[in-house]
Amino acid sequence: MVNPFKSYQAFAPFWYRLLICFLVPISLLVIGVKTFLVIPLILLPAIDVMADYWFLGGIQSKNYSGSTFLMTSARGRRVTQSAVIVDLIRRLLSILTVFAGWSVLRLLWVEKETVPAEELMLVILLCYFASTAGTVCSRFFGNIWVNVLAAQVVSNGCIFGYMLLSRIPAALAVDIGLGLLSLLVSVWAVKLATKRVKEGYYDTGI
C-alpha cells in the first residue's frame, strides 16, 4: 500500500527534511533554553510557514496545473493525503520537541523551574494552530511573498496571542478551545490539500 513516510519523503526534498525535521527543532530548542520561551514561539511557526512553499506551495490555488500529474495515478490522492498528514504530525512533534523539551531541559539544567503545565499547553497549541493555519492560508497562493507575509502574521499573532491568552485565568478552557481549533484547522489542511486531486476530475472541482 502507500507508505506514508515514503510519500512525505517524495514530496519533501532532502534539504527540506534535514532542515525542518532536525536542524530547526534542535536549534530552537537550544536557543529557547538559553534565552526565553518566546523566542522559539516567534520563530518556529514562521519558519514552518515559509518552508511550506517548497513542500506544497500553491497546491490549493485556482487554475493549478500541478495536481494533474497526481491525478494520472490511482494512488495520487492517497500519496498526497499521506504527505499532508505526516507533515502535520511532524509539526506537532517539532513543537513538542522545542517546547516540552525546553521545559524538561530548563528543569534539569538551568533554573530548576519552568512554566505551569497549562501555560506550556497554551504555547504548544498556539504554536501548532498558528503554524497550520498560516500554512493552509498560504497554500492558496503559489507565491513566495505570500508565504513571507503569512510568516510575519503568524509570528506576530503568536506573540500577541500568547500575551493575551496567558492572562486569562481559565487556562484549561483556553487550552481546550485552542485544541479544538487546532483539530479543525488540521482537518481543513488535509481536505483542502487533497481537494484538487480528488475533485479535479470534475468541472465543478476546478
Partner 1 sequence: METKSVVKISDVSKKFRGFELSVPKLEIPKGYATALVGENGAGKTTLLNLMAGIRLDYKGEIRYFDRESKLDETVQERLGYVGPGCYFLPHWTAKQVEELSGMLFDHFHRERFRELCEEMNIPTGLSKEVKNLSDGNKVKLMLAAVLARDTELLLMDEPASPLDPLMRDKLCELIRDYLEQGNGEKSVLFSTHNVADMENVTDYLLIMEHGEIVEQGFVEDLKEKYIMVKGESADAERAKDVLFSMSRSSFGFEGLCLAEHLDRLAGMDIALETPTLSQICVAVLKANTKLTFAK
Nearer to partner 1, 67 or 103 (CB): 67
Residues that bind partner 1 (CB under 8 A): 2, 6-7, 9-11, 13, 15, 53-54, 56-59, 65-76, 79, 142, 200-204
Smallest distance, Å, CB 135 to partner 1?
Answer: 15
Burial grade of 66 (CB within 10 A; 0-12, 13-18, 19 or more)? middle
DSSP-assigned letters across all residues of 33-82: HHS-THHHHHHHHHHHHHHTHHHHTTTTSTT-GGGHHHHTSTTHHHHHHH
Smallest distance, Å, CB 68 to partner 1?
Answer: 4
Q: Say which DSSP state 2 is in.
A: -
Nearer to partner 1, 60 or 182 (CB): 60
Nearer to partner 1, 53 or 129 (CB): 53
DSSP-assigned letters across all residues of 171-189: HHHHHHHHHHHHHHHHHHH
Smallest distance, Å, CB 95 to partner 1?
Answer: 24
CA distance 74 to 78: 8
Smallest distance, Å, CB 81 to partner 1?
Answer: 12
Nearer to partner 1, 29 or 193 (CB): 193
Nearer to partner 1, 16 or 157 (CB): 16
Grid cell for residue 2: 502507500
**C-alpha 6, offset from chain centre:** 19
Smallest distance, Å, CB 80 to partner 1?
Answer: 10
